[in-house]
Amino acid sequence: MNVLQALNGLTKPVDGALTVQEWRDRALQAEAKLLRVASKGTALQAENERIRRNYQRQRPTDSQIVHRAQADVLLMYGLFLTGFETTRARCLDELGISKRRWNWAQSLAQLSGVHDGVDFYSLSMAEVITRLREGVAAAEEHPVLLRGYMPRNGGPVRTAGR
C-alpha cells in the first residue's frame, strides 16, 4: 500500500461503486496531483528562501533606522533610570545594542532633546516619549538632521566648545 492510497483510504476497490480500472485511474490522477503540489511546494520554499536572503542583505531605510533608534533610546533611558551608565560598552553588555545602533540612538536622543551627548536629562518618561516622537518625525522628514549628531571617526560627540 502506498502513501497516496493510505491518505485517501483507497486500500482496495469497493464492489459495485468503482471498477478496478476506474479505481486505478483515480489513484494515478490523485498521485500525479500530489506530486505536482509537492513540486510546487518545493519550488515556493526555494523562492521564499531566496527572497528572505535578498531582503536581509538590503540596506535599511532611514525610517527603519530611526524607529530602531527610538526603541534603543527607550531601552537606554530605562537603563539610565535604573542608575546605570549608558556607555557603549554597558549598552552592548546589558541591552545588546551594537556600536552602530548605539550611535544612531545617541543621535536621535540628542536631536530629540533628551540627551546632551554625555548623559540623559532628568525628564519624566512621558516627556521623553513625547520628545522622541517629535524627534522621530523630524528625522523621518529630514534624515540629514539625524546624521548631523553622529560622532566623527567613531569617537564620542563633543558637546563643549573647543
Q: Check pLDDT > 50 for residue 162.
A: no
* Model confidence pLDDT, tens digit, residues 23-48: 888 888 888 898 888 888 888 999 99
CA torsion through residues 26, 28, 29, 33, sign = positive
Strand partners, 115: 120
In the predicted model, what is the mean pLDDT of residues 10-26? 70
Output the pLDDT for position 155. 52
The residue type found at 85 is: E
Output the pLDDT for position 5. 58
Output the pLDDT for position 69. 94
* Model confidence pLDDT, tens digit, residues 103-143: 999 999 999 999 988 888 888 899 999 999 999 999 999 98
In the predicted model, what is the mean pLDDT of residues 154-160? 51
Q: What percent of the chain has pLDDT over 70?
A: 83
Quickly state the pLDDT bin for 61 (edges 50, 70, 90).
confident
Q: What percent of the chain has pLDDT over 90?
A: 39
Q: Is the pTM of this model over 0.85?
A: no
Output the pLDDT for position 154. 54
Output the pLDDT for position 161. 46
Report the C-alpha gap between 28 and 64 in whole angstroms.
Answer: 51
Report the C-alpha gap between 35 and 41 in whole angstroms.
Answer: 10
Output the pLDDT for position 139. 93
Average pLDDT taken over every residue of the chain = 83
Say if residues 93 and 100 touch (Cβ distance below 8 Å): no
